[in-house]
Amino acid sequence: STDFAVFKVTELRRSEPLQETPRQIFLSRKKQRNAIYSGTNLLKHKILSEKIKRVFYYACPGAKNPKWNKFLPSIRIHFREGLPTTRQFLNTPKNSCIIIDDQYEEAIESKEIQKAFTVYRRKIGFSLILISQNVYEKGRKAKTIRSNTFTYVLFNNFGDQQQNHFLARQLMLEKRFKEFRADHFKTKHDKHSYVVLNNTAKHEDLRVATNIFSESAHVGIKLPVLYTD
């Protein structure tokens, strides 16, 4: 069996947080509740950033407002339909978070979304969360967007495991990812079970993780051991 180190969430934040703005995250979900659970917790627990006060949520045209404000009363949520325009990107306040939900097929054909990942987020200083069911949709800008995304949230009920393993292989985390899944997901203790692949972590231990919100008291933050100090 794989050995694991158990860290408290405060220790994870102190040693290797995701709190580097601007930040870009790909959230791969099967159901809308997975996106709500993970996205709101990233902001609520300040895992993404201590500074974010405003969220601009872009849903596909005609979609219902998921009302993230119910879970994030201290953060101002702006709900909009369609992809962000150049003007909207350029007028986004610093230390905001832009969420693009269920528009991946359109996003990977958009020059403006590509520029958001490569230029705007750094120049202006906002974070990006891109939500989709399929990491590997084909599009003219897809490769550039993936190449500029270093953190992925994959849910246990996300169906295409072959795709997940291919992603882990591209991030050079395949062995660790396989060991982690075999140990952590052999029992389905949580309908929101997920794995975070964070290829920007300085410590290799922290590149594959779960329970980063301390949502499962009996699980702890489980990270494959390389250092156990």
Q: What is the 3-state secondary structure (H, E, C) of the chain?
A: CCCEEEECHHHHHHHCCCCCCCCEEEEECCCHHHHHHHHHHHHHCCCCCCCCCEEEEEECCCCCCCCHHHCCCCCEEEEEECCCCHHHHHCCCCCCEEEEECCHHHHCCCHHHHHHHHHHHHHHHCEEEEEECCCCCCCCCHHHHHHCCCEEEEECCCCCHHHHHHHHHHCCCHHHHHHHHHHHCCCCCCCCCEEEEECCCCCHHHHEECCCCCCCCCCCEEEECCCCC
Percent of residues, the chain, with pLDDT higher than 70: 62
User: Does residue 160 belong to any structural domain of this protein?
Assistant: no
Please report, for the domain that includes residue 66, its CATH number.
3.40.50.300
Structural domain boundaries enclosing 192 = 1-16+166-229
- Find out whether 168 and 174 touch, Cβ atoms under 8 Å: yes
User: Does residue 101 belong to any structural domain of this protein?
Assistant: yes
Reported as a pLDDT band with limits 50, 70 and 90, residue 176 is confident
Please check the confidence at residue 130 and state whether its pLDDT lies above 60: yes
Tell me the pLDDT tens digit for each residue of 73-97.
888 999 999 999 999 999 999 988 8
34 and 69 belong to one structural domain: yes
Q: Please give the residue that has the higher pLDDT: either 142 or 115.
A: 115
Q: Please give the residue that has the higher pLDDT: either 128 or 164.
A: 128
Point out the domain boundary residue: 100, 123, 149: 149
> Based on the structure, what is the number of domains in the chain?
2
Average pLDDT value for the chain? 72
Reported as a pLDDT band with limits 50, 70 and 90, residue 11 is very low
Percent of residues, the chain, with pLDDT higher than 90: 20
User: Does residue 204 belong to any structural domain of this protein?
Assistant: yes
118 and 171 belong to one structural domain: no
72 and 90 belong to one structural domain: yes
Point out the domain boundary residue: 119, 149, 179: 149
142 and 52 belong to one structural domain: yes
Q: Please give the residue that has the higher pLDDT: either 61 or 36.
A: 61
Question: Cα-flanking dihedrals φ and ψ of residue 192, to 5°?
Answer: -105, 20
98 and 176 belong to one structural domain: no
26/31 Cα distance (integer angstroms): 15
143 and 185 belong to one structural domain: no
- Find out whether 1 and 183 touch, Cβ atoms under 8 Å: yes
31 and 103 belong to one structural domain: yes
Give residue 156's pLDDT: 60
52 and 92 belong to one structural domain: yes
Point out the domain boundary residue: 122, 149, 176: 149
User: Does residue 154 belong to any structural domain of this protein?
Assistant: no
Q: Please give the residue that has the higher pLDDT: either 68 or 217.
A: 68
136 and 171 belong to one structural domain: no
User: Does residue 161 belong to any structural domain of this protein?
Assistant: no
User: Does residue 157 belong to any structural domain of this protein?
Assistant: no
201 alpha carbon, distance to own chain's centre: 14
73 and 112 belong to one structural domain: yes
36 and 73 belong to one structural domain: yes
74 and 172 belong to one structural domain: no
Please check the confidence at residue 38 and state whether its pLDDT lies above 60: yes
User: Does residue 156 belong to any structural domain of this protein?
Assistant: no
Q: Which residue has the tokens 């601007």?
A: 22
Please check the confidence at residue 109 and state whether its pLDDT lies above 90: yes
